[in-house]
Amino acid sequence: MEKDTERKIIHVDMDAFYASVEQMDYPELKGKPVAVGGNRQRGVVAAASYEARKYGIHSAMPSKIAASKCKDLIFVKPRFERYRALSQQIREIFFRYTDLVEPLSLDEAYLDVTENKMGISTATDIALEIKKSIKEEIGLTASAGVSINKFLAKIASDYRKPDGVFIIKPHQVLPFIEELPIEKFFGVGKKTAEKMHKLNITTGADLQSKTLKELVKYFGKQGRYFYSVSRGEDYRRVNPNRIRKSVGAENTFNESLKTKSEIWEALQPIAEKCWKRYKQSDANAHTITLKVKFDDFKQITRSKSFNEAIESANTFDKGLESLMDSFDLNQAVRLVGCSLSNFEIDEKVGDNGQLTLGF
């Protein structure tokens, strides 16, 4: 296993990707607060423009709450085919520099540029070139983080948003982490942060002061992760063959559904979309999941697993029907979704040599 300091990792994160695409394609939206997804009465915000974020609007926020925060908020219907097409163009830019590209979603990816196709001596210069190409060829801005591992690169990409670059060089790693608020550590959510504060852990330095035994005692298996990353250690490789764990589809309805027959009817086009995505993937799923969200935003899921891979739409349909029968629907439903998971795929990871380059 190579040392962290021998690797050069870039994390590229598009700036408010969905909302920025809408503002690019429809100039009348530029400079205005835009929410992609939902409407003023129902649904959930999938993405918010930076103008909307100034009002405290963010992704996953119920649309009704978002609308109450900004009376001028403009809701736009998502166009995922458009986002996917642009995402592919952005990845083609990445591949000019390295084949070690690990997409995390349509709008972000890790790149290992320890060795790069262009012979560029520093990862920082590569990040700047990538940002410039995305802007000139596609018309969008991206932010980039550059460091010695995935954990630090991802944190760094958020430091100069939007349209920024932030570098954490090898000799800066420990001083940077020591001052890092624990809320900035990936894997530290609201509840974990509250627990850490009760233990007087507020910065990376506080985490470093704890022994492995103490952190495991407080946080279980996650304690090992906190122990490592607080010391700048993250040996995960950039995996270009990153496996998708599931395929699914869901929909939030304009009018709440009150009966099982209504829900089952509404589920049909959602299931068709899910099955189509599944057949387009190189996967064999063993688990079907049905998700329902009620008007009070309470969410429940039911899953059914099979010994053999799910190969027919009929098996999928009957599985969903069985799961639907298991639900006790005593209140109106606002969202229904389904997914196929528990994939049976061979993971192939190349063993690439690493060279030390400057930052």
Catalytic residue IDs = 108
108 contacts: CB under 8 Å, gap ≥ 6 = 11, 12, 13, 14, 157
| Rounded alpha-carbon distances, angstroms, from residue 163 to 15, 127, 160, 190 | 7, 11, 7, 27
Six token digits for residue 356: 């030390």
At 9 the three-state DSSP class reads strand
CB atoms within 10 A of CB 41: 11
Contact residues for 136 (Cβ-Cβ < 8 A; gap 6+): none
Residues contacting 50, CB < 8 A, separation 6+? 15, 16, 19, 162
Cα–Cα distance measured from residue 17 to residue 120, given in angstroms and rounded to the nearest whole number: 28
DSSP characters over 45-69: -SEE-HHHHTTT--TT-BHHHHHHH
Residue type, 29: L
Q: What is the dihedral of CA 17, 249, 304, 308, to 10 degrees?
A: -90
CA-nearest of 275, 291, 251, 294 to 340 is 275
What strands lie across the sheet with 299-305, from one edge to the other? 246-257, 333-341, 287-294, 299-305
Q: How far is CA 234 from CA 10, 164, 227, in A?
A: 14, 24, 10
